Amino acid sequence: MVTKKNCSTRDINEAAYLKFHGIPINLELINNLVVFTTPISDELYRLIDAYNQNDPVPILDYAAILRSLRAQMFAIKAIGAEGRDHA
């Protein structure tokens, strides 16, 4: 999904690829779903195209970023669940 200033995806693999290449990734909890959001830029579009063309990346570095994003995703979901329990 693209808004005026940001591009969002639910694909954690794409988010990890973008983060590996230095694109800042923000996590948002929307309707109990984690969405990865990043500012729009020409570099972003170039990297999304490269990702869709199966551009190779060093697997250990990519896996570390993927694990980090997954941990952040679980943390933000837990915080969201806590907020609903206390409401």
Give how far Cα 81 sits from Cα of 8, 29, 48, 78, 87, Å. Answer: 22, 10, 31, 5, 10
Per-residue pLDDT of 43-79, as tens digits, reads 999 999 999 999 999 999 999 999 999 999 999 999 8
Between CA 49 and CA 45 the distance in angstroms is 6
- pLDDT of amino acid 32: 87
pLDDT of residue 79: 87
Environment class of 82 (CB within 10 Å of its CB; exposed 0-12, middle 13-18, buried 19+): exposed
Q: Which helix (H) or strand (E) holds 30?
A: strand 26-30
Domain ranges within the chain, ordered by starting residue: 6-86
User: What is the C-alpha to C-alpha distance for residues 1 and 38, in angstroms, rounded to an integer?
Assistant: 11
pLDDT recorded at residue 80? 82
**pLDDT tens-digit series, residues 41-52:** 999 999 999 999
pLDDT exceeds cutoff 70 at 2: no
